[in-house]
């Protein structure tokens, strides 16, 4: 992730390369090519918005996409340290390609529904905003959210390229925010430069670094403020799941013990697909604790 300013700090710009992290999301969730693109775009979108709006590393930003397409709900949570995790309702959903050779992301997301963004800044109440989905392509929808909900004129370009075997070959994106003080002609010029860009996936496939993507828009007028790694990371652990089971209460845990046909109960994290196991004996201990 590169965080930068341009045009005398009248523009904020963020750009990231996400190939490795989207490939990890694919591997963990076993997503179909089109869902890989949808989930990858959502995860990179969450990272870009987190870079633009979180001040502390432990703060969290969640992008929650609830479209009417076959993929179901798609959700990604990023923190201020460049870590992200994500989940999807139906990892194996597919939609027929409309344009030859292009994944039909809107076809799996749906183009009707909602996109919400929640920021947990460590205050008592998290901040949350919601917009209707515009296209289901995620990038446009995030830009629409930033304009409507946060009144910040923004452009978001994110793309994932998946080879026929399903592996992620390239993934990346950028977020440009226009701050007050830009003249009409400056705004027109930036909009023209963004419109003239090849698709973000093309830029990453061509080997452009995140910095180079920004230089394509602003020329040499880019000031890089900092750069940091972006990675997949899930904070789940056996202890966290154990604590969550305690909160189910005596009745519910007893029911699980009685109905379990296996020797142990499996609990799977929706964000990383890691499985944790609890034997009946261990569950009975938890019941005692819940009492």
Question: Residue 270 Cβ, how far from Zn ion at the closest point, in Å?
Answer: 8
Tell me if 11 contacts Zn ion by CB under 5 A.
Answer: no
Question: Residue 38 Cβ, how far from Zn ion at the closest point, in Å?
Answer: 20
String of contacts with Zn ion for each residue 175-214, x by CB under 5 A: ----------------------------------------
Tell me if 25 contacts Zn ion by CB under 5 A.
Answer: no
Tell me if 269 contacts Zn ion by CB under 5 A.
Answer: yes
Nearer to Zn ion, 236 or 257 (CB): 236
Query: 116: closest CA among 132, 102, 103?
Result: 132
Stretch of residues binding Zn ion (CB under 5 A), selected from 92-100, 120-128, 189-197, 269-277: 269-277
Q: Give one DSSP letter per residue of 120-180, joined into a string.
A: E-SSSS-EEEEEE-SSSSSHHHHHHHHHHHH---EEEEEEEEE-TTS-EEEEEEEEEEEPT
Residue 168 sits at φ, ψ, to 5 deg, of -80, 120
Q: Which of 14, 145, 271, 278 binds Zn ion (CB under 5 A)?
A: 271
272 Cβ contact list (under 8 Å, min separation 6): 28, 85, 232, 234, 236
Please, which contacts does 122-128 make with residues 24 or more away whose CB atoms are closer than 8 Å? 122/56, 122/58, 122/59
Stretch of residues binding Zn ion (CB under 5 A), selected from 41-49, 123-131, 154-162, 233-241: 233-241
Interface residues with Zn ion (CB under 5 A)? 234, 236, 269, 271-272, 274
């Amino acid at each position: 992730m590169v965080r930068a300013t341009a045009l005398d700090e009248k523009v904020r710009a963020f750009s990231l390369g996400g190939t490795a992290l989207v490939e990890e999301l694919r591997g963990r969730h076993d997503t179909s090519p089109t869902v890989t693109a949808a989930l990858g775009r959502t995860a990179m979108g969450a990272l870009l918005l987190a870079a633009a709006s979180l001040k502390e590393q432990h703060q969290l930003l969640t992008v929650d996409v609830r479209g009417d397409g076959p993929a179901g709900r798609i959700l990604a949570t990023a923190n201020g340290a460049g870590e992200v995790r994500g989940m999807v309702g139906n990892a194996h959903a597919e939609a027929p390609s409309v344009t030859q050779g292009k994944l039909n992301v809107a076809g799996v997301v749906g183009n009707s529904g909602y996109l919400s963004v929640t920021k947990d800044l460590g205050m008592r109440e998290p901040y949350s905003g919601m917009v209707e989905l515009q296209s289901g392509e995620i990038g446009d929808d995030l830009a629409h959210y930033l304009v409507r909900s946060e009144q910040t004129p923004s452009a978001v370009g994110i793309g994932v390229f998946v080879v026929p075997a399903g592996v992620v070959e390239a993934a990346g994106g950028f977020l440009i925010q226009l701050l007050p003080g830009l003249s009409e002609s400056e705004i027109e010029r930036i909009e023209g430069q963004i419109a003239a860009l090849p698709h973000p996936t093309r830029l990453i496939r061509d080997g452009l670094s995140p910095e180079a993507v920004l230089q394509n828009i602003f020329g040499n007028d880019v000031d890089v403020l900092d750069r940091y790694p972006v990675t997949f990371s899930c904070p789940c652990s056996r202890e966290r799941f154990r604590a969550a089971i305690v909160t189910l209460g005596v009745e519910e845990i007893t029911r699980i013990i009685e109905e379990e046909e296996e020797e142990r109960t499996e609990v799977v994290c929706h964000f990383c697909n890691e499985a944790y196991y609890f034997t009946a004996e261990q569950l009975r201990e938890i019941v005692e604790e819940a009492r």
